[in-house]
Copies of this chain bind each other. A is one copy, B any other.
Amino acid sequence: MFIRNAWYIAAWSDDIRQTPFARRILDEPIVLFRDSSGAIAALEDRCCHRGTPLALGEVVPAGLQCGYHGLVFDRGGKCVLVPGGHTIPPDARVRSYPVVEKDAFVWIWMGDPSRADRSLILDYPYHNDRKNWPHKHTTYPIKCNYMLLIDNLMDLSHLGFIHKETIGGMSPALHVEAKMRTVKTPAGVRFDRWMLDSEPPPTYVKAAGFKGRVDRWQEFEFVAPGTVLQWSGAVDAGRGVFKDFKYGGSRDGGFSLRLFHGATPETENRCFYFWSTANGYRQNDPIATAELFDEIARAFNQDKTVVEAQQARLDENPGAPLIDIHGDGARIHARRAVERLLAQENSAVVPVAAG
């Protein structure tokens, strides 16, 4: 069961060219393409004539043409040509999905089109700020329910186990004992963690050349249905200040990264993981951007191995009980946010009883 009335990332803007691009989203076959005007459209990837995937066709001036018998569909999914100039049956159409290109993403609305309000799409200006936040991005297809990716990001105690040699570093215990504040938000949950006077992980030292211990922060926000925004960094120990459970010291001159994590369901047990890394240090050095991306890629491949094994195990016995531990606070908030949205979407509209 998926939240449908929501914006999901369908692709990166630069994935979509005039060649049709097929992707399954929320278990529906979608074809994305850029029409002759350069605007992006998303249609059901199944010709209404004989069921052929439209992705085998090609973009023509009037829209997307099926590669089998040549029906053409416009951006709205309406059939606008049956070859030979023959009558177009009135029900000749395929479903069209609202799409918005923004901040390097193509966002898609999988629910009721009349509710597709583009002001609901979150902002991620860092993708447009090459000067301060040069970035690099990619997509990983992952064989797990998308919420296992969110779970992963909501409990950072895993850093010390899975990512010892990359972004984790330090002893596992230190990750577990990091100070943390978790706050529910209307659309999810936000948490801040900090580790004062701690040993910097290998990735940080490589990137920013720390000589000694650091003051380190991690700020995460989950925005339902599938986005996690991350800002993490460190400065030389003594320069960081935490007050009222917030980071208040300098963030300059140390290590700082922003990670965008977007999880879009492909099916119930597969998803696409859209992620980018942006470096808030050595911004003029393309090697810094490339190296950070490579380090994070290494870490995310470690996560991929674990969450795919986890999904396989859960699939074997879906109803078997699991237990919660201390570190599950933020994860549980994130799950509840998703459940609330699902419940809202599936609740019948109850008419108010007349007095």
Contact = CB atoms under 8 A, between A and B. Distances in A.
A284 interface: no
B322 A69 contact: no
12 contacts: A29-B313, A48-B321, A51-B313, A51-B314, A67-B161, A68-B306, A69-B155, A70-B157, A82-B326, A84-B326, A89-B325, A92-B325
Interface in A88-105: 89, 91-92
Interface string A237-275: 000000000000000000000000000000000000000
Given A69-B161, A157-B69, A161-B70, A176 B84 contact: yes
Nearest to A53: B309
B68 A158 contact: yes
A48 B320 CA distance: 9
B67 A151 contact: no
A84 B321 CA distance: 23
A49 B322 contact: yes
A226 interface: no
A326 to B, nearest CB: 4
Given A69-B157, A69-B327, A158-B69, A322 B48 contact: yes
Nearest to A316: B29
Quick one: copies of this chain in the complex? 3
A191 to B, nearest CB: 15
Interface string A54-68: 001100000001111
B176 A67 contact: no
A325 B86 contact: yes
B84 A313 contact: no
Contacts of A313: 29, 45-46, 51-53
A71 B325 contact: yes
Interface of A: 29, 45-46, 48-53, 56-57, 65-71, 82-84, 86-87, 89, 91-92, 151, 155, 157-158, 160-162, 172-173, 176-177, 305-306, 309-310, 312-314, 316-317, 320-327
A153 to B, nearest CB: 13
A323 B92 CA distance: 7
B67 A162 contact: yes
A8 to B, nearest CB: 19
B91 A323 contact: yes
A71 B324 CA distance: 12
Contacts of A52: 306, 309-310, 313
B49 A325 contact: yes
A238 B146 CA distance: 65
Given A46-B313, A53-B312, A89-B325, 18 more contacts: A29-B316, A48-B323, A49-B323, A50-B151, A50-B322, A51-B320, A56-B305, A56-B306, A67-B162, A68-B306, A69-B161, A69-B327, A70-B160, A70-B161, A83-B160, A84-B157, A84-B173, A86-B327
B161 A89 contact: no
A133 B86 CA distance: 38
A177 B84 contact: yes
A157 B83 contact: yes
